[in-house]
Amino acid sequence: MNYTLDYLTQIAHGIAQQFGQNCEVVIHDLASIDLENTVVYIENGHVTKRNIGDGPSHVVLEASRKDTSHLKDRYGYLTRTQDGRILKSSTMYIRGDDNKIRYIFSINFDITAFSTIDGVVKSLISTEPETKAPERITQNVNDLLDDLIEESVALIGKPVALMTKEEKVTAIQFLNDAGAFLVTRSGDKVSKYFGISKYTLYSYIDVNKTTK
């Protein structure tokens, strides 16, 4: 389809009106204007401080090469203004019936303010650099005990069946320090889970006391 400049400017104006003053829409003419003055239409040019008659961008230079068959439209990539503002950009290559690029239709949306907000939010919700998953809020002590047992296994990093005696001692000590044995009948559940007797369980709990 052979798009006319009037048709493209109508679309450009509509996009600019829809998204407001932070949205620049620019049309470069590669057919009838010399390479130093490719901008033939622009909305909200204050975003990049450009005007009609200004020269090309990197994408225009790329499209000015002899072989443009490999060029494809690009959407949602980041660009930066000379004064350091961050833009979310999209570039569309408008071709004529001969498949040659006649116009470049570009949208540049200033997202600097959003990036600042994003940085503030991330700083507010960030925590110490740990690999632990967020702690689950449990509804009863049985769920809490299950969680503590899972944490003790994760601490060792291998299933119970592969744990050595020393590793089981470490896991049991973790549970003890975490208060797991304050839960009623927790000893029965833990000893069964680790495949040891309750006598052995209590010896593992007291191992630090007996070595002092």
pTM of the model: 0.57
Residue 146, domain extent: 141-210
Is the same domain home to 16 and 100? yes
Is the same domain home to 23 and 96? yes
pLDDT single digits (tens) 40-90:
999 999 999 889 988 777 777 777 766 778 889 999 998 888 788 888 999
Tokens representing 148?
């503590």
For residue 124, being part of any structural domain is answered with no
State yes or no: pLDDT of 129 exceeds 60: no
The candidate with the shortest Cα–Cα distance to 43, out of 60, 61, 27, 59, is 27
Is the same domain home to 99 and 174? no
Is the same domain home to 113 and 68? yes
Phi, then psi, of 117 in degrees rounded to 5:
-60, -45
For residue 125, being part of any structural domain is answered with no
Count of domains in the chain? Answer: 2
For residue 76, being part of any structural domain is answered with yes
Residue 108 near residue 20, CB atoms below 8 Å: no
Domain endpoint, select from 57, 87, 118: 118
Mean pLDDT of the chain: 84
How many percent of the chain have pLDDT more than 90? 45
Is the same domain home to 23 and 114? yes
At residue 4, the pLDDT reads: 87
For residue 136, being part of any structural domain is answered with no
CATH of the domain at 78: 3.30.450.20
84 DSSP 8-state letter: S
State yes or no: pLDDT of 99 exceeds 90: no
